[in-house]
Amino acid sequence: MTVFPSKTGAKDFAGALLDSAAATPDGIVGPDGKAAPKRFNVYRNNVVVSLCEALGQIYPAVKTLLGDEYFNAVARAFVTRHPPQSPVLIWYGGAFAAFIEEFPPLEAYPYLVDVARAEWSWLQAYHAADAAPMDPALLGALDPEKVGEARLEKHPAALLVRSDWPVLDLLRANRFFPEDAVAVDLSLSQSVLITRPDLDVEIRLPYPGGAVFIEALFEGFALAEAAGKAQSQCAEFSLSDCLSDCLSSGAFTGLTAGRE
> 55-112: per-residue pLDDT in tens?
999 999 999 999 999 999 999 999 989 988 887 878 899 999 999 999 999 999 999 9
Nearest to 93 by CA among 113, 69, 120, 121: 120
Q: How much is the pLDDT for 53?
A: 94
Whether 3 has a pLDDT exceeding 90, the answer reads no
Nearest to 61 by CA among 170, 200, 162, 168: 170
Q: How much is the pLDDT for 233?
A: 97
N-to-C CA span, the chain: 62
Nearest to 134 by CA among 244, 254, 215, 15: 254
Q: How much is the pLDDT for 17?
A: 53
Q: What is the DSSP letter of 176?
A: I
Q: How much is the pLDDT for 196?
A: 97
> Over the stretch 170-208, which tens digit does the pLDDT of each residue have?
999 999 999 898 899 999 999 999 999 999 999 999 999
Q: How much is the pLDDT for 41?
A: 47
Whether 40 has a pLDDT exceeding 80, the answer reads no
Give all domains of the chain, ordered by start, each with its CATH number. 1-109 (no CATH), 131-260 (3.90.930)
In this prediction the pTM is 0.84
62-69, long-range: CB within 8 Å, 24+ apart, which pairs? 62/96, 62/100, 62/112, 62/115, 62/116, 62/119, 64/174, 64/175, 64/178, 65/109, 65/112, 65/115, 65/170, 65/174, 66/109, 66/112
The amino acid at residue 227 is A
8 Å CB contact between 216 and 226? yes
For residue 110, what are the contacts with CB-CB under 8 A and spacing of at least 6? Answer: 165
Q: What CA–CA distance (Å, rounded) separates 104 from 106?
A: 5
8 Å CB contact between 13 and 32? no
